[in-house]
Amino acid sequence: MTITIEGLSHTFTTPTGRVPALRDVSLQIRQAEFVAILGPSGCGKSTLLRLLANLLRPMAGHIALDGLTPAQAAATKRIGWMAQHPALLPWYTVRDNIALAQRINPQPQRAVPAVDDLLALVGLSDFASAYPFTLSGGMQQRAGLARTLALGADVWLMDEPFAALDELTRESLTLELLRLWQTFRPTVLWVTHHIQETVRLADRVVVMSRRPGHVHTEKAIGLPRPRDDTAPDFQPLVRELRVALAAQS
């Protein structure tokens, strides 16, 4: 899915006044591109994803997802949105949680992966009949990941999906995600404040400024995959992004 964002602005109205979250954001994202969005907390990264996922209506500007508005794209389930909290339903088993993503607002004309294949892909085949609260945080997030994949969506909007996990789990899941992206080839927007992670994962890093957020720098990461933290070209990129980010926080 190609994504065009033009002049996007959004302001929240709170009891204490109006808080501008995004100001004049413009981005072009190619089909199957992996874009990391890096920024200080409160820079509107999550707001940007919510606008794309049709969870918020933009106040100004224009979004096109393969030429569709976010509402049209959501109505035909082309969007897979995932947040830090897996938000699984505790009253359904892991399998039912994943299957529900396909049963709700079903789109018979779209091909979706089989639930059992997804369970195998995220390593939860033995836990298909388990209830979410019996699983560890990492396993719950795997189930959440499988549920997002179950949509067969053209774009994955991932809002710091592994931020609440411990470092080891986070690293292994990040590698798995990369593998899944290479299997399914969706367009990915990956929101994070973890600099190393962006260099490890993305084709391009978009650094956002402080509130109200707008695009500060875009940096293409040309390193070949699989990427190695100890490669000579790796750390200079991390340093460069750190400098760009530090100027914003």
3-state secondary structure of 191: strand
Distance from the first to the final alpha carbon of the chain: 32
Q: Which residues is 34 bridged to in the sheet?
A: 188
In DSSP notation, 29-67 reads: E-TT-EEEEE--TTSSHHHHHHHHTTSS--SEEEEEETT
| Of residues 134 and 235, the one with the C-beta less far from other proteins | 134
| Of residues 40 and 152, the one with the C-beta less far from other proteins | 152
| Of residues 54 and 198, the one with the C-beta less far from other proteins | 54
- The rounded distance, in Å, linking the Cα atoms of 39 and 56 is 20
Task: Please report how close the Cβ of residue 60 comes to other proteins at its closest, in angstroms.
Answer: 22
> Which residues contribute to the site for other proteins (CB under 8 A)?
53-55, 74-75, 77, 79, 81, 83, 85, 87, 89-92, 100-101, 104-105, 131, 133-134, 151
| Of residues 51 and 199, the one with the C-beta less far from other proteins | 51
Q: Which amino acid is at 57?
A: R
